[in-house]
Amino acid sequence: MVQVRDRISLSRSLVEPIGTAEAIATVIDALVPEACVLLSRRGEGARQIDFLCVRVDNTVQAIRVGTSDPTSDMPRLLRLLKDQISRIEPGFGIEAVTLTISASEPIEAGPARPVLSDPEDRLVDTVPATLIDRLINRPGVAAVYQFAPRFSAWPEDGQSRVSPGNMAKPPFAGQMLWARPNILFDLPVRVQVTALLPDGAPRQFVLKRQTHRISAADGPERLLGEWWQTAENYGAIRDYWQVETTTGLRLWLFRKGDGTHAWSGSGDWFLQGMF
């Protein structure tokens, strides 16, 4: 038998009706810390919070906020709720309020994180989740996505859109022995390359009529197409090279094919990214 836990719900009847944003914020300041304590005792974090305001005319004003991941962080929840106060119309006054954690999830224990003594460091550490929360609760925003790594033969297809909080460890990440560039182009840029041999290291390349001479090259790293996906990828090969130009640019070039067999690729060269 599965026993469903009761929702955390806190109610207050006010001595006098309130109607200002400051007074509503004061009530939120009183309720959220208590809710966070109850969440922490359960080992849970809020994913959705409802704040209901009962007016003196017996009508209800409600706001709802959601979070990108389970959290019992008090400043984070306070900010989310206070950002929505402007949507509450108090009318002739609010005489009672209820704060309900309408959806919660267990907070999974993760790896130990360093203690940040500098307040600015702590602020930077919480910016991504806070920013995502504020975006998904903004009126008119239909959806917010993050880019997550995914396994793909070709680097330009190595990301997918996921909902915030659903980031997962990239598959086969431990098997990626070669470095990847800091800047990866959405589409590879065609370049003209001169190499000593058909399948040898690039010596120079031309991009937009400008010649770049290569002083050092490391490779090739061979990637194979996903032959099980399309006939076009069957037998497809890319040979990648990390190169450094005489002017100090560190770039990522690749050739379609192995340089010998036509069935493996056209032999054309492309610029894919920058280190």
Q: How far apart are CA 254 and CA 238, in angstroms?
A: 6
Please, which residues bridge with residue 204 across strands? 194, 213
In the chain, the percentage of residues whose pLDDT exceeds 90 is 49
Where residue 189 falls among pLDDT bands split at 50, 70, 90?
Answer: very high
Q: How far apart are CA 52 and CA 38, in angstroms?
A: 19
Mean pLDDT score of the chain: 81
Could you state, in order of their start, the residue ranges of all structural domains in the chain?
A: 8-105+121-136, 179-274
pLDDT attached to residue 64: 92
The per-residue pLDDT for range 14-42, each reduced to its tens digit, is 999 999 999 999 999 999 999 999 999 99
Architecture of domain 8-105+121-136: 2-Layer Sandwich (3.30)
91: Cβ contacts below 8 Å, ≥ 6 apart: 19, 55, 56, 57, 59
Where residue 146 falls among pLDDT bands split at 50, 70, 90?
Answer: low
Q: How far apart are CA 143 and CA 162, in angstroms?
A: 10
Q: What is the mean pLDDT of residues 43-53?
A: 94
Q: What is the mean pLDDT of residues 165-174?
A: 49
Where residue 13 falls among pLDDT bands split at 50, 70, 90?
Answer: very high
